[in-house]
Amino acid sequence: MANGEEAVPVIRAARGDVPFYREHGFHHPRAVEGTFRRVKWWAMAALLAVWHLAPFLRWDRGPGAPDQAILIDMPGRRAYFFFIEIWPQEVYYLTGLLLLAGVALFLMSALAGRVWCGFLCWQTVYTDLFIEVERLILGDRPRRMEFDRAPLSAGKVGRVALVNATWLAIAAACGISFTLYFGDAFATLREIFTGQAGSGTYLFILVIGGFCFLLAGYARERVCVYMCPYARFQSAMFDEHSLIVSYEAWRGEPRGPARKGQSFEGRGHCVDCRACVQSCPTGTDIRFGNQLSCIGCALCIDACNTVMDRFGLPRGLISYDSSANMQAREKGGKTRFRLIRPRTLVYFALLAIVGSAMVVSLAFRSGTEVNVLHERAPLFVVLSNGGVRNGYVYKILNMVREDRDYRLSLEGLPGATLDVIGGESGVTATTLHADRDTVATYRVYVTAPPGEGMARRTALTFVLTTPDGRVVKTGDMFAGPDK
């Protein structure tokens, strides 16, 4: 297994002197302590706690309904999120959610660079955890590199096996948690461990767990550098006021080794210790400037601050700052963080518009959806008395947990009557029943009196009134012989 600084993957395509891909072995990042490292631990703990514990949260939806707070019920074709229940026909909520997530990511990037990649992304969280496991069993960077160089022995094989077994256990827990979102978590967990779960459940554990093991254990930074599309376009969302991890070259250069207590007169503050590179999970040398391989985890800031403290130099040679501030500081000017800028305003506005549209639409949901399908064969029938008849399949989605009687009437075709198979005939309005939480399907015939509905197409509206007085109108067309 190759390793070491020579093997570190760095993409600095802009410099033109480094290939886009260079085969490399494992990079063993050095452990660091500091503010950002603590933030990363807390973020990891919070995200993993939510991921593993959320399926066990309960939410009372009344008798007969699942009481799991977050559930994707594939057989029942529903998704539940606390008090929200989404039917397949309401997939636009998912679209809205994806849109919100996308814009939030853009906003996050415009404000604080790749903070998502560095602190919140699943790949980062699991890689961080896997590296820590490896560190606990095999030691930190120097011991780890020594371990790689050591000859093969039973002890070496045993410790590598222990690392892999621990990774497998974490990956399996990840896969198991995934499946818990698709069925009652307690029952699914019992079934998994008693061998009674379906083959699909075991397959998902294998696939999700397998990817977790391979991507976080072995692919690691290659995922961020070579596989993730976000890394490729993230810089398009930055501007000079975005906070990114940056090296103050004007202060650090000319760099060079230094001894404790020596004067830094006439030279830069960078002591060329490479602590920033060695602690970087992707092996990036941030002193070359912002790079594709930098995921914005800020661990190099902690590493460099520790070095600065040791030499009694001001912290912040590497810092989370905007390029505008960096330039201002170089010239001795004032620095400030600009939250409100044209691009952040656009993102804030998009978030507000999409978010409010979703909230309003959820708040004013009638609990009833209607689908109408015009029968095509035949499109219409001319009756012996000169009237015209069209047939429709009329579906009512009763999304509330009570049986409901609805009133159905028509608009747009004067004198038209309704005939419902299995229900009333020759009426202008009729009652349709839908059991709780079901889709009720009716065959409905609309008959236009002689002299009406003869046009090839007449706009027709089905008007459904819910028991609580809400009106659901569905437009369709009434076909005639065009005479």
**Residue with smaller CB distance to ligand SF4, 284 or 417:** 284
11 binds ligand SF4 (CB under 6 A): no
In degrees and rounded to multiples of 5, residue 274 shows phi and psi of: 65, 20
363 and 333 Cβ atoms separated by less than 8 Å: no
DSSP character string of 350-413: HHHHHHHHHHHHHHT--SEEEEEEE--SSS-EE-TTS-EEEEEEEEEEE-SSS-EEEEEEEESS
294 binds ligand SF4 (CB under 6 A): yes
Of 44-52, 91-99, 177-185, 299-307: span binding ligand SF4 (CB under 6 A): 299-307
Of 49-57, 66-74, 201-209, 296-304: span binding ligand SF4 (CB under 6 A): 296-304
117 and 294 Cβ atoms separated by less than 8 Å: no
> Which residues, 6+ apart, have CB-to-CB distance to 130 below 8 Å?
167, 170, 216, 217, 220
Site string for ligand SF4, 301-340 (x = CB under 6 A): --xx--x---------xx----------------------
421 and 451 Cβ atoms separated by less than 8 Å: no
454 and 483 Cβ atoms separated by less than 8 Å: yes
Of 259-267, 280-288, 339-347, 440-448: span binding ligand SF4 (CB under 6 A): 280-288
The CA distance from 231 to 126, in Å, is 18
**Residue with smaller CB distance to ligand SF4, 185 or 286:** 286
The CA distance from 418 to 425, in Å, is 6
**Residue with smaller CB distance to ligand SF4, 300 or 388:** 300
**Residue with smaller CB distance to ligand SF4, 223 or 382:** 223
- Per DSSP, helices labelled H in 54-153 are 92-112, 115, 122-138, 141-149
131 binds ligand SF4 (CB under 6 A): no
**Residue with smaller CB distance to ligand SF4, 28 or 389:** 28
CB of 317 to ligand SF4, least distance (A): 5
217 binds ligand SF4 (CB under 6 A): no
Of 287-295, 333-341, 396-404, 455-463: span binding ligand SF4 (CB under 6 A): 287-295
246 binds ligand SF4 (CB under 6 A): no
275 binds ligand SF4 (CB under 6 A): yes
**Given candidates 44, 292, 300, 434, which one binds ligand SF4 under the rule CB under 6 A?**
300
The CA distance from 478 to 483, in Å, is 14
**Residue with smaller CB distance to ligand SF4, 296 or 453:** 296
For residue 43, count CB atoms less than 10 angstroms from its CB and return exposed for 0-12, middle for 13-18, buried for 19 or more: middle
Residue type, 8: V
Note the residues at the interface with ligand SF4 (CB under 6 A). 245, 252, 270-276, 280-282, 284, 286-287, 294-300, 303-304, 307, 317-318
